[in-house]
Chain A
Amino acid sequence: MKKLLIGLSVTASLLSNTVLAEDADAVAFREAFLSGTATWEDVQARAKEEGTVNLYYWGGSDPINIWMDQIATAGLAELGVKLNPVRITGTKDAIDLVLAEMNSGKGLGEGSVDAIWVNGENFATLKRQNALFGAFADKTPNSVNIEWNADDPRSLLNLRDFGVETGNAEMPWSGEQYVCAANTKRVDRADLPATFAELKSYLEINPGKFTYVKPPHYVGNTFVQAAVYAHNPDGTGAAPFQNSIGDVGAEELARLITPGLEYLKALEPHLLGAQGGNARYPEDIGALDGLFLNGEVDMACKFGLYAVATGLNNGTYPEGAEAFVFPTGNMIKNKNYLAIPANAPNPAATLVMADYMTSVDAQVTKLKFTGMPPGVDPWKLSDEDVQALTEASPGLIGVTQADLDANTAPDTNATLVDVIEATWLEYIERDSTDSIDVIVARAVENLEK
């Protein structure tokens, strides 16, 4: 219904043939800030006038909601900005709203979304639709906490989001790594799989004791990507998946992903519920956590460097849960970001908010209360700040930081994610009889429409 209404308002405005109206004052401010002529004091002064910042984010996690309401709101109030946290069930809702408002002629200073917690395909959509505020992320005072030097390979996650260049239009806010946890009360640590082949043999002995979140949910997509990397026929892992679909081409992509998808197809009869004839893929992380907590599955994989510690702490993980290294060499790591849309109503207040979010204080409390790993880069911080972050960390259980660092892989390019996800849906969920190259070619064609 909401979408219908948005669509309706869009049509109404299309019919009246409006042009993009912009608040001239806000546009002048944007130009001044992006060109570096506005000082941070100017930003702060304007932020106080604007007063409020509307941050849209996925509201499915209680610890994050509490942190927003109690800590971030208080911290920003000290800076003269009122944080209005808008909780949404899917990030895409905020993207839809921004695009609908822009198309109905609402430009800078007139929209309703100031900032979105975002990454991957949703950011790629904003970028493709030219709906971003501009290259702000390296221009705030706290941006010194982040590595922007492209010559340093460690800056990759700040400059590219799922392989898409961020153009500094989003602020790195949080880091994550795809980590699997096992219930060691049910599985002996020695029996834990380290590779996809071992996972399959484990499930042949213990049928139904594993499943993964259903694509197109990003947590499910990531599992599929890890399987695809590990089965790369050239043995080059994640490397060829860093380029966009235009560079890779449908034929080559089909060749690269075929072994991975065939593995997943062969895995399906061993997944949860498949013994009853119908493999069950949970819809989201909440459902997966529930299966893991109830002992319906022995292992669960999701983004969550500190998920085991936080899960044990708030009772959403079973006692005996421990992280383990899986799959060797392909534990996907990424960051998530705060993006400012091109029609943000309060641009200055949003910049102040983004700056606050990357301050060491905010990063420390966020890590402590929510277990979300820092988005700032430790080598850019002072020793005391690193110490503060280490102390705030809920801690790793079952793996060491060295294990995780040694098995890191980058995310897949956002344009390829769409194709791989469509192929999974077609080949595995719908049991299509077409061959993978036909499915991939069709998916690529659909996306280009």
Chain B
Amino acid sequence: MWVQLMPVLAVLSVLFGGALVLAVMQSLGFAPWFGVNTFPDLSYFGALWGSWSFWQSLGLTLYYAIVSTGIALVMGILLALAMVRIFPGKSLYKYLYKLPLMIPYTVGIALAVIMLGNGGMISRIFAFVGLIGDPSEFPQILKTHYGWGIITVYVWKQTPFVTLTLYAVLLGVGRETEEAAAILGANKRQIFFGVTLPQILPGIVSSTLIIFAFNIGAFEAPFILGGGYPDTLPVVAWRYFNDADYTLQLQGMATVVSLALIASAILYSYLAFYRSFERRIGRN
């Protein structure tokens, strides 16, 4: 068995593990190639956590990640439930809804800029038909701290992913238990919360875990569509890395490591909570 595991283990431990160790060491002041070596030195974390802007950035990062994961989940469940029914045009629709999965995030971001921006298609159409005098008067959707642009892109891209996962689970469990519940007199609401939801819960947990982990660490969407300072943490880290003063890279590493710590804490407790819930209801 170890022989079979070797390739994956080697890649994980060398590339991922090595990078992780190095990131942690740099964030603690080890960067002799920049002439900086004060290891171990907690001042980078101290400076970061001591500033109010870090907590603002963290709040924004979590806000975008949680809201878009939530919306994508609700829409994904609704879509997956619709998909198991039979309706005209279903075979075409089955391909159509997967389209965003095949399109990269950057293209989605570009679409958002082209459609929703103040110089975008919708604002121009509004100006053209005379609802506003000038495309720049269109209400600002992108580049605000409400993050509608970022959330739109995430939801657009991740709803099909949630749907795909849940649809596969739904197909696997079949409709017999739901039909049995209906025969026994359960109404639609009772069927969904008492029968369907517990059955698809593992799918819900695994898909939200994946998209939340992505959303919290994603860079492009908040960078291009975000509202400027305060930025999300990945963008803050990028700004440190990109500064001509390369000693700031250590501060950037501290940001990245903080983000990794917070993300893993959240994901771990989410998973632990779910496991304990599973045990409580007698599954494992």
Contacts and interface: CB of A to CB of B under 8 A. Distances in A.
Interface of A: 1, 3-5, 7-8, 10-11, 14, 90, 92, 95-96, 99-100, 103, 120-122, 125, 214, 216, 273, 276, 278-281, 283, 290-291, 293-296, 418, 422, 429-430, 446-447, 449
Contact of B243 (A10, A214, A216): A216
Interface in B1-29: 15, 18-19, 22-23, 26
Given A1-B19, A214-B228, A216-B242, 7 more contacts: A4-B23, A8-B19, A216-B239, A278-B144, A278-B228, A296-B135, A296-B136
Given A278-B228, A449-B247, A99 B119 contact: no
Nearest to B243: A216
Nearest to B38: A449
From B23, B36, B244, residue with most partner A Cβ within 10 Å:
B244
A422 B248 CA distance: 11
B33 A280 contact: no
Nearest to A93: B242
B143 interface: yes
Given A4-B23, A92-B244, A295-B134, A430 B53 contact: yes
Interface string B128-155: 0000001110001001110000000000
Contacts of A291: 119
Interface residues of B, number: 35
Contacts of A294: 117-119, 135-136
B202 interface: no
Contacts of A125: 244, 246
Given A3-B241, A90-B242, A418-B244, A14 B145 contact: no
Nearest to A102: B33
Given A8-B18, A214-B228, A99 B135 contact: no
Given A216-B243, A295-B135, A296-B119, A276 B19 contact: no
B21 to A, nearest CB: 9
Nearest to A447: B245
Contacts of A422: 245
A10 B228 contact: no
B53 A7 contact: no
Interface of B: 15, 18-19, 22-23, 26, 31-34, 36, 53, 117-119, 134-136, 140, 143-145, 223, 227-229, 239, 241-247, 249
Nearest to A429: B229
A211 to B, nearest CB: 11
A135 B102 CA distance: 52
21 contacts: A3-B249, A5-B19, A7-B31, A10-B33, A11-B22, A95-B246, A96-B246, A99-B34, A125-B244, A273-B140, A278-B144, A280-B143, A280-B227, A291-B119, A294-B119, A294-B136, A295-B119, A296-B119, A296-B136, A422-B245, A447-B245
Contacts of A92: 242, 244, 246
Given A295-B135, A296-B136, A290 B119 contact: yes
A397 B239 CA distance: 36
A178 B18 CA distance: 45
Given A273-B143, A278-B227, A14 B32 contact: yes
Given A92-B244, A273-B140, A278 B145 contact: yes
Contacts, number: 82
Given A8-B19, A121-B244, A447-B245, A14 B134 contact: no
Contacts of A273: 140, 143
B119 A276 contact: no
A275 B206 CA distance: 43
A420 B243 CA distance: 13
B61 to A, nearest CB: 17
Contacts of A281: 228
Question: Which 5 A/B pairs are nearest by Cβ-Cβ distance?
Answer: A294-B119, A121-B244, A103-B33, A4-B19, A296-B136
Contacts of B135: 294-296
B33 A100 contact: yes
A214 B243 CA distance: 12
Contact of B229 (A121, A430, A446, A447): A430
B10 to A, nearest CB: 15
A280 B228 CA distance: 7
Nearest to A13: B33
Given A100-B33, A294-B136, A216 B53 contact: no
Nearest to B26: A7
Contact of B119 (A90, A216, A293, A447): A293
Nearest to A120: B244
A189 to B, nearest CB: 20
B25 to A, nearest CB: 8
A222 to B, nearest CB: 14
Nearest to A287: B224
B238 to A, nearest CB: 10
A242 to B, nearest CB: 19
Contact of B136 (A10, A120, A295, A446): A295
Given A7-B26, A276-B140, A276-B144, A216 B244 contact: yes
A14 B144 contact: no
Contacts of A10: 33
A4 B31 CA distance: 12
A47 to B, nearest CB: 31
Contacts of B143: 273, 280
Contacts of B228: 214, 278-281
A281 B227 CA distance: 9
Nearest to B20: A4
B22 A8 contact: yes
A14 B33 contact: yes
Given A278-B227, A278-B228, A447-B245, A4 B33 contact: no
A296 B53 contact: no
A301 B22 CA distance: 41
A216 B243 CA distance: 7
Contacts of B118: 294, 296
